[in-house]
Structure 1
Amino acid sequence: MEVDEMVVDELIVGRIGLEELKVGGIFPDLKVFKNKVREYAIDRHFVFVPVDSKSTKYAVRCKNGSCPFRISGTNYLDCVRVNRFVPEHTCPSTMSGNDHLLATASWAAETCLGLFPRPGDVTPSLIRAYVKDKWSITLSYTKAFNAKVIIHEIMCGNAEASYRILPAYAQEMERCNPGTIMLVYRTRQLWGSGDDTFGRLFWSFGPSIRSFSRTIRPLILIDVTHLRGKYKGILLAATTLDGVGGLFPLAFAVVENENFDSWLWFLLLLR
C-alpha cells in the first residue's frame, strides 16, 4: 500500500505518463480519457466502437472488427490508468466523406471553447475553419451551428435557466435601480388557463422615466422587432426624442405575438 501511494503521488504530479495514450498512462478522470481517445481516432481518420463503457472503465476497438486497434482505461484510485493499448490500425479508413462520425457538436464545442473570449464572437464558420485547419475534416454546418449553441450556453447559461430566475432578476433590478419598473407575467395571470410558464415581460428603467417626465419632449414613438432566440417572441419598444433629436429609450416588452391584445397590454402599462 505504501508503494501504491508513492506511485500515485508521482502520477498525480505528472512525472509518469500523464495524459499519454500508452500503457500506464494516467488521466484525471474518464471524461478526459474518452476525449483523448476520440481525438486520437479523429486525427487518424478512423471510427471506433465501445466495447465496455462503465463508470469505472472505458474500452473501445476499431469499427472494423478485424483491425487490431484496442484501448482501455480503468479507474485507479483517484485517476484513470490505461491498462491496454494496441495502437496499430491496419484497415482502410472507416470514415465516409470528409466529415467524421466522432466529430460531434459537443466535441467541437469543447475543442473550440477557448478560442472565443466573448459569446458574440462565436460563429459556425469560425468553428468549421478551426476544425478543418487542426483536424483536416469538414464539419457540417449543422454540427458547427449546434456547437455554437453549446458554447453560448456554457458561457452565458441556457434559456430555460434564465427564464426560471427572471422573477428574482426583476425584483433585483427594481431594488438596485430606484424607480425602475419590471413586471413578469405568467401565462395563467394573462389568460387564466394553460401552463403556468413565462408569458410576457414589461420593463422601464427609472432614469428613463424621470428624464421623460422632466426634460424629454412629450412625444412617444412605438416600434416592434422579432426576436431570434430559441423561443422567438416579439420585442415591443417605446422611445422618445432627446434635446438634440437622438432616440431616448423609454419602455420595452417581450410578448408572444404582435396583435391587438399585446399592443393594448403594452400601452396600458406604458400609460
Structure 2
Amino acid sequence: MDFGYDDDGIEDGMIQLVIGATYDDVNHFRVVLQQYVIQEAFDILKIKNEKTRVTAVCKAPGCTWRVHASAVDEDKGVKHSTTFMIKSYNPKHASYKVQPFYMKLYRARMLALEMNQGSPKDSYSYLLAYGRMVLAKMPGSLFKIQYQEMRDLSGNPIFKRVFVSFKACVSGFVKGCKPLIGVDGCHLKGRYRGILLSAVSYDGNNEIFPVTYVVVEVECKDSCLFFLECLYEALGMITDDMALTFMLDKQKMPSLEYSLIHTKDDVSDIYTRTSSQQVNQDSCLGSTSG
C-alpha cells in the first residue's frame, strides 16, 4: 500500500497509529488516517481539521476512540515546521457497534441474488423452455400458460397464469391417495406478486401429497375456473364412478367455491354438489363425474 510518502506507518501489511508517529505534513497524515479508517471499517468525525492540527473521534455514539496530531518543530528555532506527529491516541472502541441502514443491506442482498441467480424479470422468458422440458422428460404431464391480452402484437407477451401438473404426481394421487383434494392459496411476495394455488391430497401414510399447482394474477372467478378446468384435464384418468371431495377455505376462497359449484356450466363432464359438512371452517364440496 503506497500513498506517495516515504513512511505510512505500515507494519505487517497493516496501517498502525501510535503516539509519536510522524508524517511529512498534514496531508500525509490525513491520507494515512483515511486509509486506516477504511482498513478498520468504521466512521470518524473530525473535530479539528486545520493545517496545524487534526483531531478525530469515532462517529459511533459513546465510543472513546480518539486521535490527535499536530505540527512539531524538528529543530529549535523553527517555528513553522510542516512535520506532523500523533500527540495523543486512544485505540479502544468502547460501545462501538456498526448499524447500517436496513434498506442498504436489502439492496445489496437483492443485487447479489440477481448476480448469482438472474433477475426475476428475465426468469419469465424461460417459462416456455421449462414447459417443453417438463413435457419431454415426463410425458403425460400438463403445462399451460396464459398471457395477457395485447392490442399491439409486435411486443413481447406479458405473463398472466401458468398451470403445472406432473404425470407422476397425478398417477400417485389416483393409485395411492384418498379421494380428497384440498385446495388453498398463498400470496407471492416477490417483485411481481401473484397468487399460488395448490391442490394436495393425503396418501396411505396420511402424509400430504402434492397433486398440481398454478400461479395466477389474482384470486377471481376467472382464474379459479382456469385452475379447475386444468385440474380436470390433468385428472383425465379419473373413472366415471370415482367420487372426489374438494376441501377449501370457504371464507378465504369464495371465488374458488363459486367456480366449483358452477363448473358444470363450463365443463359438461363435471357434476358438483355442495356438502353441508364443515371441517375446521372449511367448505367441502363433493364431486362425481357424470
TM-score normalised over the length of structure 1 = 0.51
* Cα shift readout 1:78-115 (whole Å, capped 9, x = no counterpart): xxxxxxxxxxx9475797989xxxxxxxxxxxxxxxxx
In the alignment, what sits opposite 1:203? 164
Q: Is the 8 A contact 1:222 1:237 kept in 2?
A: yes
- Does residue 237 (structure 1) correspond to residue 198 (structure 2)? The answer is yes
SS of the residue 1:188 aligns to: coil
In the alignment, what sits opposite 1:45? 43
* Cα shift readout 1:221-265 (whole Å, capped 9, x = no counterpart): 111111111111100111112112221111100011111111111
- Does residue 173 (structure 1) correspond to residue 171 (structure 2)? The answer is no
SS of the residue 1:165 aligns to: helix
Q: What letter corresponds to residue 145 of structure 2 in structure 1?
A: V
Q: Is the 8 A contact 2:202 2:209 kept in 1?
A: yes
45 and 173 in structure 1: CA distance in 2 versus 1, 3 angstrom threshold: same
Alignment partners' CA distance in 2, 1:265 and 1:242: 26
Pairwise CA distance, 1:169 = 1.5
Pairwise CA distance, 1:171 = 1.1
What is the aligned length? 166
67 and 186 in structure 1: CA distance in 2 versus 1, 3 angstrom threshold: farther
In the alignment, what sits opposite 1:146? 107
220 and 94 in structure 1: CA distance in 2 versus 1, 3 angstrom threshold: same
| Structure 2 residue ranges without an equivalent (≥5) | 6-34, 63-95, 233-290
**Aligned ranges 1:179-190 → 2 under 5 Å:** 179-188=140-149
Larger Cα-atom Rg: 2
SS of the residue 2:149 aligns to: helix
TM-score normalised over the length of structure 2 = 0.48
In the alignment, what sits opposite 1:258? 219
Pairwise CA distance, 1:204 = 0.9
Alignment partners' CA distance in 2, 1:93 and 1:176: 65
SS of the residue 1:174 aligns to: helix
Pairwise CA distance, 1:21 = 4.9
Runs of 4+ in structure 1 off by over 6 angstroms are 93-98
Q: Is the 8 A contact 1:187 1:195 kept in 2?
A: no
Q: Structure 1 vs Structure 2: percent identity of aligned residues?
A: 28
Pairwise CA distance, 1:41 = 8.3
Alignment partners' CA distance in 1, 2:159 and 2:124: 7
SS of the residue 1:220 aligns to: strand
Name the structure with the higher helix share: 1
In the alignment, what sits opposite 1:22? 3
Alignment partners' CA distance in 2, 1:148 and 1:247: 33
Alignment partners' CA distance in 2, 1:257 and 1:177: 29
